[in-house]
């Protein structure tokens, strides 16, 4: 109790100092601590996985089909619960976040999953605007931010196209734009190049690199050997739920 009072006083008097103290303590942004995930009755999707991700890192996640990549990303989003272990995001224990506060967590995390479909009856602009409408943004905020994001992803000329009028790569860029709209701290991209030809795949990777240069942390899961080998970024390899490699400059070895 005494400690809590002391802390409260410090926060009241010197908010900035307190903030600095907090960040000095946690260098990592994301921490997986001995995470095991078993889907009932007995599928071990992740087996005692531990790693940390620092702010602004670009991390590739590789592994054969069924290795546990999507499960790992869903656990971070609190879409699935670990069977054991703990996950921290910005010093917060993800499992302890009350369901009412989950939208705040998810706004800090931009998710680019293959099954996160665009709404077919809305244009590129409207698909992104919709994500802002649901959190009550004003019309002027929406107009400003959506135009800016469409410019960042190089789709200004496709603003009023419906998904059916966009190529696969362009659609994926709208999905990334939609994930960027809340200015997330991290983007989780689950096989974002899976359905694309090599040219468009490269386009998406370049876009993720650009977003990373702006300061957003990226976790990219991919099967694409060429992408991993040419990126030369930190690579975590999963094999049957186990983390078998974590290399600073990764190569694709399965
Ligand atoms: N909701 C679920 N219920 C039961 N088992 C599941 C569920 N989701 C995934 N699994 C199983 O957990 C394991 C890991 O699946 P996951 O989707 O995480 O793999 P992945 O590495 O993303 O594979 P892929 O490259 O094919 O997308 C697989 O054996 C899968 O069958
Ligand atoms: Mg997957």
pLDDT tens-digit readout, 40-56: 999 999 999 999 999 99
Given its phi and psi angles, is residue 57 left (phi above 0), alpha (psi -120 to 50 degrees) or beta? beta
Probe target for ligand 1 pocket from 40, 70, 220, with the most ligand atoms within 8 Å of CB: 70
The boundaries of the domain holding residue 99 are 56-79+94-247
In a domain, 68, yes or no: yes
- Residue 9 — pLDDT band, cuts 50, 70, 90? very low
Probe target for ligand 1 pocket from 32, 38, 43, 192, with the most ligand atoms within 8 Å of CB: 43
In a domain, 226, yes or no: yes
Question: Which CATH number do you get for residue 114?
Answer: 3.40.50.300
In a domain, 165, yes or no: yes
In a domain, 66, yes or no: yes
pLDDT tens-digit readout, 207-229: 999 999 999 999 999 988 888 88
Sheet of strand 84-89, all strands in order from the earlier edge strand to the far edge = 43-53, 30-39, 84-89, 92-93
Strands in the chain per DSSP E? 30-39, 43-53, 58-62, 84-89, 92-93, 109-112, 186-190, 217-221, 234-239, 242-247
Ligand 1 atom 30 nearest Cα: 66
Count of domains forming the chain: 1
Name all residues whose Cβ lies below 6 A of ligand 1: 39, 43, 45, 63, 65-71
- Give the pLDDT of residue 13: 38
Q: What is the pTM of this model?
A: 0.87
């Amino acid at each position: 109790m005494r400690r809590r009072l002391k802390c409260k006083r410090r926060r009241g008097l010197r908010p900035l100092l307190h903030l600095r103290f907090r960040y000095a303590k946690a260098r990592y942004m994301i921490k997986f601590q001995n995470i095991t995930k078993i889907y009932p009755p007995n599928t071990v999707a992740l087996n005692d996985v531990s790693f940390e991700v620092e702010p602004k890192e670009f991390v590739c996640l590789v592994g054969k089909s069924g290795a546990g990549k999507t499960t790992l990303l869903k656990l971070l989003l609190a879409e699935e619960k670990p069977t054991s272990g703990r996950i921290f995001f910005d010093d917060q224990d993800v499992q302890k976040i009350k369901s009412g506060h989950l939208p705040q967590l998810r706004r800090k995390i931009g998710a680019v999953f293959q099954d996160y479909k665009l709404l077919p009856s809305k244009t590129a602009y409207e698909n992104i605007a919709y994500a802002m409408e649901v959190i009550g943004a004003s019309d002027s905020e929406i107009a400003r931010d959506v135009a800016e994001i469409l410019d960042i992803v190089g789709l200004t000329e496709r603003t009023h196209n419906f998904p059916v009028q966009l190529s696969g790569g362009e659609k994926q860029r709208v999905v990334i734009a939609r994930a960027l709209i809340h200015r997330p701290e991290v983007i989780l991209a689950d096989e974002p190049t899976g359905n694309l030809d090599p040219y468009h795949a490269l386009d998406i990777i370049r876009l993720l690199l650009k977003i990373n240069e702006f300061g957003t942390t990226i976790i990219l899961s991919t099967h694409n050997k060429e992408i991993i080998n040419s990126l030369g970024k930190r690579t975590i390899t999963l094999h049957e739920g186990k983390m078998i490699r974590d290399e600073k400059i990764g190569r694709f070895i399965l």
